[in-house]
Amino acid sequence: MDIYSFLIQFLNGIQYGLLLFLVASGLTLIFGIMGIINLAHGSFYMIGAYMAFSLSALAGNLFIAIVVGIVLSIILGVFLEWALFSHLYKRDHLEQVLLTYGLILVFEELRSLIVGNDVHGVAVPAIFNWSIPLTQTLSYPVYRLFMSAVCIVLAVLLYLLIARTRIGMMIRAGASNREMVQSLGLNINLVYRLVFALGVALAAFAGMLAAPVSSVYPGMGTGVLIICFVVVVIGGIGSIWGALVASLLIGLADTFGKVLVPQAAGVTVYLLMAAILLWRPEGLFRRV
Amino acid sequence: MALLAALALLALFPFAGTTFYTELVTKVMILAIFALSLDVLVGYTGLVSFGHAAFYGVGAYALGLLAPKYEAANLWLTLPAALAFAALSALVVGAFVVRVKGIYFIMVTLAFAQMFYFVFHDTKFGRGSDGISMNFKPVAAIGGFTPFDLANATHVYYFVLAAMLLVFVFLRVLLNSAFGRALQGIRSNEHRMRSLGYPVYWYKLASFTLAGALAGLAGYLSALQFGFVNPELLSWHQSGNVLLMLILGGTGSLYGAVAGAFVFVALQEIFSSVTTHWQLLLGGTIILLVIFLPGGLASLGGLFKRTVVGDPDDE
């Protein structure tokens, strides 16, 4: 493998990893802060992608579609938290798993009813629809670089939000001791609602961003969910930093695994997980 | 008393209904065995596994892969083989997953199950996404003597009924023994068990392996009944469905597991006769069930009593 092919695969791996990070960070936040395992998280990714498809068909422009989509997903997140997830805080894991599993079924069928089961493509926005030439035959698509850049910016913003703002302080306090925060007069329910909506919006945004690259198909929610589980297991529950490291690790392992060992394409990630489980069952990092 | 009535009903059922219903109830009983196997893990050991379908699938594929193409397989050889393969897979997976707890456990069992699904769906070993069709049902022959004919739906019904009763009695005895009580202790408070000197890891691993072996039995019987195996047997929908059966019936109760299987299949049949988008109704039902009736149907009795008669603690 020459240096340019390696560079291409490396960039692909980083881009895939960063996208995974967007989705996984929401999952790990929701579990770390609110203590809820949300199987339907992958469905939000799928919803985002399908929104990108339908809205950009309506609006004619992917960027407008993304802005509208983010607003819609925040509304969806707030509604879901109020209607369903607020019941789950005191419940055990089995009940959380089952309710969110039921939610997946509902989302999948609704999608089937509203948009159908076809696979769709979304056009790359014209501004980014060119490639940087690397050699005479190889080039790298600029849209993918854009995706990675956006993900990095979001990651930094997320860090600033959690570590440097008042809201972030409330979120971290609520994760440590919910009752204490409430007795200090802060509205922890509002905080949880915000965190959940943030998680949903991140996952949906990732779906919208990825739509031009990965196409929009029915099984995409499930696929990303399981990989995100692996990310969270490797990175450690509740740790954003862990989610970032693990996502990049998995992005690179999966990409290079598919290229170097195509027969074992799907299992590379699981083997990595098994290895980490033997070495560090709690994940690489503790809670943030 | 109600139990004996239900048993009598099950025993006499094939004579009352058509072949369609005999086969349907056979399918339910196989799922009941599957649910019972998971209840050992979830209800008694407190380990919520979202990947149990993997071992169900291994048991089924054991028959599918071992069955020769041009003659019938032997029941008494393939069944123990399927159990052995399922137990072995569960032992290997368990060695990894039993190290983690709670939420991690749910996620890694799902991930490992997906690995199994991938092997059967995408590799040549598993014969791919179309699955395997068996030309002949297994033969229950020992020497020259064939006690029953597995191509006959009624014989299959009674064979499965016997298997289910055997599993039920076996688990009832096992879970009331010292081993079973240790598992319940682990579910209740793992640290306490550890401080009492119990080798918790090995108990959990034993529970996981046993559950996997019994799931393999259910899978084998499923392959036997349908004569066909495909990778969807290992899908996470299957894992989700069996968890649903447990919450429908109530975890930690062997009767609940069996009842849950019956209710689940009933719901499936009712919903799919209403609309092709029956999963929507199923999903909605699950959500309402979790919010309003988390104890499953087993808790309905207590709920009814409290509503009508009143709570003695209120006086």
Q: Does residue A50 lie in a domain region? A: yes
pLDDT value of position A132? 82
Q: Does residue A83 lie in a domain region? A: yes
pLDDT digits (tens, 9 = 90+) for A112-124: 888 888 888 888 8
Q: Does residue A288 lie in a domain region? A: no
Identify whether the C-beta of residue B198 lies closer than 8 Å to the C-beta of residue B182. Answer: yes
**How many CB pairs (< 8 A) connect A and B?**
118
User: Residue B206: which pLDDT band, with cuts at 50, 70 and 90?
Assistant: very high
Chain A contacts of B236, Cβ < 8 Å? 222, 226
Identify whether the C-beta of residue B155 lies closer than 8 Å to the C-beta of residue B148. Answer: yes
What residues in chain B have their Cβ under 8 A from chain A's Cβ atoms?
A: 42, 48, 50, 96-97, 99-100, 102-104, 106-108, 110-112, 114-115, 118-119, 122-123, 236, 240, 243-244, 246-247, 251, 277, 279-280, 282-287, 289-291, 294
Q: Does residue A88 or residue B257 have the better pLDDT? A: B257
Identify whether the C-beta of residue A199 lies closer than 8 Å to the C-beta of residue A29. Answer: yes
pLDDT digits (tens, 9 = 90+) for A177-201: 777 888 888 888 888 898 899 999 9
Domains held by chain B: number: 1
Which pTM does this prediction carry? 0.87
Q: Would you call A115 an interface residue with chain B, using a CB distance cutoff of 8 Å?
A: no
Ranges A58-62, A156-160, B163-167, most confident? B163-167
ipTM: 0.83
Q: Does residue A150 lie in a domain region? A: yes
Q: Which residues of B273-310 are buried (b: 16+ CB within 10 A; e: fewer)?
A: eeeebbbbbbbbbbbebbbebbebbbeeeeeeeeeeee
Closest CA to B219 of B209, B208, B229, B206: B229
Q: Does residue B256 lie in a domain region? A: no
Q: Does residue A43 or residue A139 have the better pLDDT? A: A43
Q: Tell how strand A139-141 and strand B228-229 pair up.
A: unpaired
Chain A contacts of B100, Cβ < 8 Å? 233, 277, 281-282
Whole-angstrom Cα Rg for chain B: 20
Q: Would you call A264 an interface residue with chain B, using a CB distance cutoff of 8 Å?
A: no
Angle at CA B30, nearest 5°, toward B29 and B33? Answer: 90
Cβ burial, residue A112 (10 Å; 0-12/13-18/19+): middle
Q: Does residue A108 lie in a domain region? A: yes
Counting residues of chain B whose pLDDT is more than 70, the rounded percentage is 92
Q: Would you call A282 an interface residue with chain B, using a CB distance cutoff of 8 Å?
A: yes
- Structure-token pair, residue B57: 């699938």
Distance from B159 to chain A by nearest Cα, in Å?
32
Q: Does residue B6 or residue A154 have the better pLDDT? A: A154
Chain A contacts of B205, Cβ < 8 Å? none
The amino acid present at A234, given as its one-letter code, is I
Q: Which structural domain range is residue A217 located in?
A: 3-126+141-279
Q: Does residue A132 lie in a domain region? A: no
A102/B277 CB distance under 8 A: no
Instruction: Give dist(CA A236, CA B288) in Å, integer.
Output: 31
Chain A contacts of B243, Cβ < 8 Å? 94, 97-98, 101
Q: Does residue A261 lie in a domain region? A: yes
B244/A277 CB distance under 8 A: no
Chain A contacts of B49, Cβ < 8 Å? none
Q: Mutation test of the interface with chain B: which of A36, A97, A239, choosing the one with the most B Cβ atoms within 10 A? A: A97
Chain A contacts of B102, Cβ < 8 Å? 93
Q: Does residue B273 lie in a domain region? A: no
Instruction: Please identify which residue in the block is written with the tokens 């209710």.
Output: B263
Q: Is the predicted pLDDT of residue B201 greater than 90, yes or no?
A: yes
Of A133-147, B226-240, B287-301, give the lowest mean pLDDT range.
B287-301
Alpha-helix residue ranges (DSSP H) falling in A165-287: 166-176, 178-183, 188-214, 220-235, 240-260, 268-279
pLDDT value of position B298? 64
pLDDT digits (tens, 9 = 90+) for B86-128: 999 999 999 999 988 888 899 889 989 988 998 888 887 878 8
The three-class DSSP label of residue B294 is: coil
Instruction: Give dist(CA B49, CA B279) in Å, integer.
Output: 22
User: Residue A288: which pLDDT band, with cuts at 50, 70 and 90?
Assistant: very low
Question: Mean pLDDT, chain B, as a whole number?
Answer: 87
Q: Which structural domain range is residue B160 located in?
A: 18-235
Q: Does residue B184 lie in a domain region? A: yes
Q: Assign residue A29 the CATH number of its domain.
A: 1.10.3470
- Closest Cβ opposite residue A105 in set B100, B103, B283: B283
pLDDT value of position B297? 67
Number of helical (H) and strand (E) elements in chain B, helices listed first: 13, 2
Domains held by chain A: number: 1
Q: Does residue A180 lie in a domain region? A: yes
User: Residue B29: which pLDDT band, with cuts at 50, 70 and 90?
Assistant: very high
